[in-house]
Amino acid sequence: MTGLEEKEGVAGKVAGWVDSRLGLSHPLLRPVPQYALNPFYWLGALAVVAFVIQGVTGMIMMLYYVPSPEQAYSSTLYIFQNVSNGRFLETVHLYTAYAMIMLAFMHMMRGYFVSVQKKPREVMWVVGMLMGFVTLGFGFTGYLLPWTVVSYSATHVGVGMVNALPQPLSNLLNFLVEGSSGDAGELLRFFDLHVVILPAVLLVLLVVKMYMLEAHGVADPPAGSTVAAKEKTIPIFPDVTVYLLELSLLFGAGMLLISAIFPLNLPAEYSALTAGQATPQPDWYFLWIYQVLKVSVFDVGGGLAAALSVVTLVFVVLIVLPFIDRGKARAISRRPVYITLGLMFVGELVMLSYWGYVTPGATIPTEQAALVIGGTALLIALGSLAAYRLLYWRAKGHLETVPAAQLPHTEARSGLAFTVLVAAGAVSIGTFLNSVIGLALGDLSAASIALLASSGAALALDVLASVYLIYRLDLRTGGIRRRVKALEVGWREP
Amino acid sequence: MRIYLSLQVIFLIALQVTSLVVLWAMTPLTQSATDTFALYLSMDLVAFVLISYIYRSTRMSREPSRVWMSVGYLALVVLLVSNLALA
């Protein structure tokens, strides 16, 4: 695409003038394939737009806000009542923060489902995850600033968790978020983190990620792309820039309207008197962690550390994901296990968050938690199994020449057996893990030992039954033996 | 076609200027005034999106999609009617 100087019309002339002065049509960024003109490719960019809106609204609020326990609430109230559009500003700031977290999450999950994290973009994924943590950090630190009874009590649940972490992490985080000068020091540190340190870290990570994006380019669509599709590119300026501008303005208009329709109400100020009135409840993006902490198995001594270990494990797995999922297949149809795991992750997050929202402050019985978490996973697994079966059945209709009449009964039996085994496996694994955690935390009753033994036996039986099913299936086709080399050890050749 | 698109752009710019004047003249301290402010600002942004879309489409030698243009104008009408209802 040539520069803009040759274009006709007023808009073309204006763009040409700007381009000739600023050199925008000769940018450092490479052109992008035309298939990338799709909103799903720009979820991360929209999260950055949300960050910019937050920066602008935050800077205006910073002119009035005073980060001290005595004045934090009153200065926030002043913005609400006396500043032109003050309440609207606060609402836009909050809802854009929500949108930023949601967009970052959608960006991550979309990337996972279409395999953008695979070679050579592993480090980009890690940097993106770090940006996600910083985004959550914005939410955590910003929540305390209005100094309401709700924000104070919820934030202190989080600060309390820091003490349960292993050393030296606990001391380091304590120093960062709490300091040693009580509420005043804590609020000041949260404010500094929110307006200086975290934005600076996010900007540095953004530059690093953009650099890597420029090095690797936009990822191919999951189903692969032809050379012709890759070669059909459009320049960053003005086409992609204008497209992104359209998306950003629509996003901005949406945020404005939502903020006008659902204006924010400021809860009561935090004080020693009001402290007991609120049930500690974090904002929605931390509700799933809060719900895990509320499970009764973690109520005993050391339970908090165990619960935090579970949550930490989730985050660690997310970070190192590109180094676990190293298969070359990128198409959704060829990654049934990872797609199912991804769907389970999203399903569990949504379920735990909603459950946390409707049960504020309530302790969750362990059996109930195992049933609901296991049940959700099972439902998603069965749904995914059904979807993939349908997919393969349709594909097989095109690919195989075996008469369909020979297959239905045996396939139905195998499918049913597989479903039962997955269900039994999910229940026995859940019960087994539950018993192990209970024993590790000191519950040495005969009932829990019996539960451990029975769930272990059920799990072993399930594994044996699965091996037998595989053996039976392989006797008929020999397909598994051909594909899974490890199974050939000790396998008698026909 | 070009004249038809140019007329649309002129209309959208006029709409933007009008809403900007209203925005500039406001001192929104009440919730109702804030709602009016948000609606006019949204109108401004949607009008700008339509102008950008027309510009991008003509630059890529394509006719702007009638569906998207209709959705955009419908959004503008809804915002304007909401504003009038608030007033």
Same domain, A233 and A138: yes
Say what the pLDDT of residue A228 is.
63
Of A10, A6, A102, residue with least CA distance to A50: A102
At residue A12, does pLDDT exceed 90? no
Nearest CA-CA distance, residue B29 and chain A, Å: 5
What 3-state class would DSSP assign to B30? Answer: coil
HEC letters along chain A: CCCCCCCCHHHHHHHHHHHHHHCCCCCCCCCEEHHHCCHHHHHHHHHHHHHHHHHHHHHHHHCCCCCCCCCHHHHHHHHHHHCCCHHHHHHHHHHHHHHHHHHHHHHHHHHHHCCCCCCCCHHHHHHHHHHHHHHHHHHHHHHHCCCEHHHHHHHHHHHHHHHHCCCCHHHHHHHHHCCCCHHHHHHHHHHHHHHHHHHHHHHHHHHHHHHHHHHHCCCCCCCCCCHHHHHCEECHHHHHHHHHHHHHHHHHHHHHHHHHHCCCCCCCECCCCCHHHCCCCCCHHHHHHHHHHCEHHHCCCCHHHHHHHHHHHHHHHHHCHHHHCCCCCCCHHHCHHHHHHHHHHHHHHHHHHHHHHHCCCCCECHHHHHHHHHHHHHHHHHHHHHHHHHHHHHHHHHHCCCCHHHCHHHHHHHHHHHHHHHHHHHHHHHHHHHHHHHHHCCCCCHHHHHHHHHHHHHHHHHHHHHHHHHHHHHHHHCHHHHHCHHHHCCCCCC
Task: Verify whether the Cβ–Cβ distance B59 to A238 is below 8 Å.
Answer: yes
Give A489's pLDDT tier (boundaries 50, 70, 90): very low
The tally of domains found in chain A comes to 2
Question: CA angle, corner A462, sides to A461 and A467, nearest 5?
Answer: 95
The reported pLDDT for the residue numbered A180 is 65
What pLDDT does A225 receive?
A: 57
Half-sphere exposure of A394 (CA within 13 A, CB side): 6
Task: List pLDDT tens digits, range A285-340.
Answer: 999 998 998 888 887 766 788 888 888 889 999 999 999 888 888 888 888 889 99
Which residue, of A232, A254, A278, is where some domain finishes? A278
> Does residue A2 have a pLDDT over 60?
no
- Best to test chain B binding among A90, A242, A243 (most B CBs inside 10 Å): A242
Distance from B80 to chain A by nearest Cα, in Å? Answer: 13
Please determine, for residue A447, whether its predicted confidence score (pLDDT) is greater than 70: yes
Instruction: Judge whether A87 lies within some domain.
Output: yes
**Based on the domain organization, do A135 and A41 belong to the same domain?**
yes
| Same domain? A272 vs A345 | no
Which of A7, A82, A248, A256 to probe the B interface (max B CBs under 10 A)?
Answer: A256
Task: Return the closest-CA partner of residue A36 out of A44, A28, A27.
Answer: A44
Q: Which residues of A touch B48 (CB under 8 A)?
A: 249
- The pLDDT tens digits of the residues spanning A72-112 come to 999 999 999 999 889 999 999 999 999 999 999 999 999 99
Element of type H or E holding B83: helix B66-86
Domain limit, last residue, from A234, A253, A278: A278
Mean pLDDT of the residues in chain A: 84
Higher pLDDT, A269 or A412: A269
pLDDT at A13 over 90: no
- Which value does ipTM take for this structure? 0.90
Same domain, A237 and A106: yes
Q: Please identify among residues 26-85 of chain B the ones whose CB lies closer than 8 Å to any CB of chain A.
A: 27-29, 31, 34-35, 37-39, 41-42, 45-46, 48-49, 52-53, 55-56, 58-60
Q: Which pLDDT value is given to residue A275?
A: 79
Mean local confidence (pLDDT), A173-182: 75
Residue from A78, A237, A249, A262 whose CB has the most chain B CBs within 10 Å, to mutate? A249
Residue A198 has a pLDDT of: 96
Q: Would you state the pLDDT for residue A484?
A: 56
CB contact at 8 A, A353 and A294? no
| A262 plus A344 within the same structural domain | no
Q: Report yes or no on A31 lying in a domain.
A: yes
Residue A102 counted as domain residue: yes
Q: Which of residues 264-303 of A touch B (CB under 8 A)?
A: none
Answer with the residue of higher pLDDT: B78 or A430.
B78
Domain that holds residue B66: 2-86
Separation between Cα atoms, residue A246 and residue A267, nearest integer Å? 36
pLDDT digits (tens, 9 = 90+) for B47-72: 999 999 999 998 888 889 999 999 99
Predicted pLDDT at A1 = 43
Q: Which of A181-185, A333-337, A373-377, A395-399 tops mean pLDDT? A: A373-377
Q: Do B37 and A11 touch (CB under 8 A)?
A: no
Please state, for a pLDDT cut of 70, what percent of chain A lies above it.
87
In a domain, A427, yes or no: yes
- How many domains would you assign to chain B? 1
Inter-chain contact A7–B45, Cβ cutoff 8 Å? Answer: no
Chains A, B: CB contacts under 8 A, how many?
66
Facing A11 at nearest CB: one of B39, B55, B60: B55
Domain boundary among A278, A293, A328: A278
Identity (one letter) of the amino acid at A67?
P
Note down the domain range covering A354: 337-488
